[in-house]
Amino acid sequence: MIARIAGRVEEVNEGSVLVDVGGGVWYEVLVPVCEVERLAKRVGQDVVLYTIHYHEGDPSHGAVTPRLLGFLSPSDRDFFRVFTTVKGVGMRKALRAMARPVGELAAAIQAKDVRFLKDLPEIGPKMAERIAAELSGQMDEFAGPAPAAGPELSEAAEEAVLVLVQLG
C-alpha cells in the first residue's frame, strides 16, 4: 500500500499530476478537481501527497489498472474515504465532485445543503439528497474553512515542511 508520495511536480493535467520521485520514476497521481490549479502553480517544486492506492477495472476480464489518488493533507484523504462510502459515489466520481475545498463540502453536507451539493460536477439532485442523508452526522472533523485557504508558504517554508514530513 502506498500511503504517501513525495517528489517534484513535473506536469499537471486535468485531474492528475506527474510526480518525479527520483531515480527515473514518475508517478501519475489522480487528484481532486479543486487541487489542480493549486498544483499547477507548483510545477518544478516538491510536494507531498497523501495517497490511496486502488485497482480499477474488471479482474474477471484481466483488465485491472492500478491507480494512485493524491491529497494535499491527511484530512482531505480521510474525507474522501468517508465520501466514497455513499452508494454510487465511486473513486473517479468523487474526485470530479470535489470541485470545492473539503471544508466547504463538509459544511454543506453537515448542513444538508442539497442545493450546494447538486451543483457539484457528477452530483445530481437524488445523489445530493443521498449524500446529505448518509453523511450529515459524520462531517464534524472536516467542516469549516479548508486548510488550503490559508496564505501560501514561501518556497523555503514549503521545503522545510517537506523535510520535516519526511523525518516524521
Q: What is the pLDDT of residue 162?
A: 65
Average of per-residue pLDDT values in the chain: 87
Residues in the chain: 168
Instruction: Say what the pTM is.
Output: 0.79
Q: What is the pLDDT of residue 146?
A: 39
State yes or no: pLDDT of 149 exceeds 60: no
Tens of pLDDT, residue by residue over 7-30, are: 999 999 989 999 999 999 999 999
* Dihedral over Cα of 36, 42, 45, 46: its sign: negative
Give the separation between CA 25 and CA 87, rounded to whole angstroms: 35
Which helix (H) or strand (E) covers residue 157, if one does? helix 155-167
* Dihedral over Cα of 144, 99, 51, 133: its sign: positive
Tens of pLDDT, residue by residue over 85-124, are: 999 999 999 999 999 999 999 999 999 999 999 999 999 9
pLDDT band at 52 (very low <50, low <70, confident <90, very high): very high
- From the list 44, 50, 57, the residue with the least C-alpha distance to 31 is 50
